[in-house]
Structure 1
Amino acid sequence: MKRPAWLEQRWQRWLARRHPPGASSLALRHNRIYVLPSGFGFAFAAMAVLVLVGAINYQISLAYSFAFLMIGLGHAGLLHGFRNLLGLKLTAGLAEPVFAGESAHFPIRLDSEKPRQAIMLRAGDNDAVAVPRVDPPGGVEVWLPVGATERGWLTLPKLGLETHYPSQLCRVWSYANLHARCLVYPRPEPDAPSYRTQGAAEPGGEVQRTGDDDFAGLRRYQPGDPIRRIAWKQAARDERLSVKQYESPQSASFHFDWHDLPGMSDEARLSRLTAWVLAAENNDDRYGLILPGARLPLDQGPVHCAACLTALALYGKHA
């Protein structure tokens, strides 16, 4: 049942005071855990009351025993459900950058000094993730999906934890405001025109780059080099690993300039520039990026690509 708007506002203000934004890690305390009977729990309580009333009216000892047994089971379920969340530690990890329109996945580690069971974890209004069991030590890591609709920094929404363990008689829940965020890159323009015809080429003739066409010599092996590039015959002679290098010509380097895209909205420009950066990186071309107030020099590689995408994501926004 949806709460009225005024009640929802007051409820959110009360939650913000009781669960203020904190660090990237916290442990659930007793005064931040809430317990109420579930629908099944209310029916169970009503049945226990009816049995007790019948036992009082008819003075049946067995009915008394059954009524008190039901009350005891309800109380035990409430206590164990409360203890299932009490002291549970949550730690937010680093989320990998995503593109607008995708889902960011925030890693949340659940840890405890004793086993926990049947916990549901949710970030804001996004889909809940079931955590069947949390075993010490080490706990378990859960990846929470959060929709990324806009570029820039995406803050982890308020977390909701819920459990009906062990008897489904009670709903036990809590909230956690962890400090974590994810960088959202602009959405790449689908079917963007080729940057080779639209981008500004850097003059200077051909530039040699690492490729697969012409053999250029050997160098010492470094961790991470492809196994297929190792010169095994050379290694057999001098007892050390060497790697084959190749070169192929590259036509030009490219500057992707914000001012070369007139007549487009800011978001459309960012979307096209993002598509060009990804395409140039995929083609092993050297590229630079020019934005109002920012200029990234010609380069290539994952670090340069991430720097360009970060500049595009944070354009016009506070870091």
Structure 2
Amino acid sequence: MRKFIHSRWQRWVNRRIPRSDVQLLTQRNLFILPTAAGVVFGMLLLIMLITGINYQNSLIYLVTFLLGAVFVGAMHQTHRNLSGLELTLVQAGEGFAGDEILFRLRAAAGKDDAVAISLSGDDVSVRVGHVPSHQSVDVAFPVPSAFRGYLRPDQIRIETRFPFGLLKAWSWMRPHSAAVVFPRPLAAPEVISAVDDADEAASSRSPEGNDHAEIRPWREGDMSQRVMWKRFVRSGQMVVADWEADKGSPHWLDFNAFPGADHELRLSYLSWLVLERGKNGARFGLNLPGQVIEPDTGPAHVTRCLRALAIWGEEKPRDAFAEPHGTRSASDPAGRSAATSGVRS
């Protein structure tokens, strides 16, 4: 019953607060309730009112109505703290699995000051503080990650209890954009890539005239330089030549160079190798099933390769879907069907 009520409540909230990178807080999406202290305060007012009625004491009436007016004024002020506040997702961060990924948000107040604002979610709380009227404050909101892939918090709670802490007003922001979580780097063993540089392959040997080549059917991810195009023209068969003496090129980081390792471990090895090549300023390319990044150097190339490793075989989160700690979960198999369909043995 509890799960049913929670699911109905969650569906209602999701309809009322759709996913967006910009959230304007209005009466439609703001909620307010008494805190525990507010409930005790209200019970105290009720007891005082009953006592005043019983003894017909004007002083008790006066104190009761004064404190009641304070409670009502606090309710309006608490609601006004958030009313008109606009929360914008400026940037969804990037990082490695196991780290906290920073989502950079901007809180802009409307015609009224926003006082004592805080953001929370997934056991993380960030104090924003005071946002003056018609001004903005930038804040970094950390989201814990555990798996590579896309990371998007389901809800970010915006809350205030000012003044007195008798009531709390809150709402949620449900970001649409997702952060990218890179595979956790693990020191890779010494391996040799099976990928040749295109120019070396073209100049050193020809598939049609090599007696030591093994002929096999073409598989997705094979380089076009290995295809025996003359045979394809004659027979229509797409075949590839594998050479026995092929030792690959040192300029390539190859997904298939780690026999026996599962897919996630291979990606962690490649993540470590990408970082090492980036530190040394070496020229390198990345070969993944279904995707090839040509050799290059520089920080932009390193980031591009890390992003490719992070999202390989993953799908962007759907609007109504958000996986905690990343798009992968502990129950996922080592390789998804979408990813394994393109893996070469």
Is the 1:106–1:156 Cα contact (8 Å) retained in structure 2? no
Unaligned runs of 5+ in 1: 206-251
Deviation at 1:154, TM superposition (A): 1.3
> Relative CO higher for 1 or 2, CA cutoff 8 Å, sep ≥ 6?
2
Is the 1:253–1:298 Cα contact (8 Å) retained in structure 2? no
2:7 is aligned to 9
Measured in 1, the distance between the counterparts of 2:156 and 2:15 equals 15
Equivalent of 2:47 in 39, 46, 50:
50
Measured in 2, the distance between the counterparts of 1:91 and 1:184 equals 21
Deviation at 1:49, TM superposition (A): 1.4
Deviation at 1:198, TM superposition (A): 4.4
Deviation at 1:315, TM superposition (A): 1.1
Is the 2:52–2:60 Cα contact (8 Å) retained in structure 1? yes
TM-score of the pair, normalised by structure 2: 0.72
Deviations 1:242-269 (A, max 9, x none): xxxxxxxxxx952111121111101011
2:119 is aligned to 121
Measured in 2, the distance between the counterparts of 1:131 and 1:257 equals 45
Measured in 2, the distance between the counterparts of 1:108 and 1:62 equals 50
Q: Pick which of 77-86 and 110-119 moved more.
A: 110-119
Deviation at 1:200, TM superposition (A): 6.4
Measured in 2, the distance between the counterparts of 1:201 and 1:30 equals 60
Measured in 2, the distance between the counterparts of 1:15 and 1:96 equals 26
Is the 2:192–2:250 Cα contact (8 Å) retained in structure 1? no
Number of aligned positions between the proteins: 266
Deviations 1:155-182 (A, max 9, x none): 2321111111101111211112232211
Is the 1:126–1:145 Cα contact (8 Å) retained in structure 2? no
Measured in 1, the distance between the counterparts of 2:170 and 2:93 equals 28
Measured in 2, the distance between the counterparts of 1:257 and 1:153 equals 23
Is the 2:85–2:108 Cα contact (8 Å) retained in structure 1? yes
Deviation at 1:184, TM superposition (A): 1.0
Alpha carbons of 1:255 and 1:297: their partners in 2 closer, same or farther (altered >3 Å)? same
Is the 2:152–2:175 Cα contact (8 Å) retained in structure 1? no
Measured in 2, the distance between the counterparts of 1:6 and 1:149 equals 28
Structure 1 consecutive aligned stretches of length 4 or more whose deviation exceeds 6 Å: 200-205
Task: Give the residue type in structure 1 aligned to 2:141.
Answer: L
Measured in 2, the distance between the counterparts of 1:57 and 1:136 equals 47
SS in 2 for 1:122: strand
Equivalent of 2:93 in 77, 93, 96:
96
TM-score of the pair, normalised by structure 1: 0.78
Task: Give the residue type in structure 2 aligned to 1:282.
Answer: K
1:310 is aligned to 307
SS in 2 for 1:94: strand
Deviations 1:91-134 (A, max 9, x none): 001133101111111011111133211112123x2411112211
1:148-227 mapped onto 2 (5 Å cutoff): 148-189=145-186, 191-194=187-190, 198-199=192-193
SS in 2 for 1:188: coil
1:69-148 mapped onto 2 (5 Å cutoff): 69-113=66-110, 114-123=112-121, 125-148=122-145
Is 1:21 matched with 2:19?
yes
CA RMSD of aligned residues (A): 2.1
Is the 1:156–1:179 Cα contact (8 Å) retained in structure 2? no
Measured in 1, the distance between the counterparts of 2:176 and 2:289 equals 31
Measured in 2, the distance between the counterparts of 1:152 and 1:79 equals 43
Task: Give the residue type in structure 2 aligned to 1:109.
Answer: R
Measured in 2, the distance between the counterparts of 1:29 and 1:278 equals 46
Measured in 2, the distance between the counterparts of 1:281 and 1:295 equals 18
Deviation at 1:201, TM superposition (A): 9.2
Measured in 2, the distance between the counterparts of 1:11 and 1:86 equals 22
Measured in 2, the distance between the counterparts of 1:176 and 1:283 equals 42
Is the 2:193–2:250 Cα contact (8 Å) retained in structure 1? no
Measured in 2, the distance between the counterparts of 1:37 and 1:318 equals 41
2:340 is aligned to none
1:260 is aligned to 257
Measured in 2, the distance between the counterparts of 1:59 and 1:193 equals 87
SS in 1 for 2:287: strand
Q: Which has the higher strand share?
A: 1
Deviation at 1:270, TM superposition (A): 0.6
Measured in 1, the distance between the counterparts of 2:181 and 2:193 equals 24
Is the 2:93–2:180 Cα contact (8 Å) retained in structure 1? yes
Unaligned runs of 5+ in 2: 201-248, 317-345
Is the 2:157–2:173 Cα contact (8 Å) retained in structure 1? yes
Is the 1:105–1:143 Cα contact (8 Å) retained in structure 2? yes
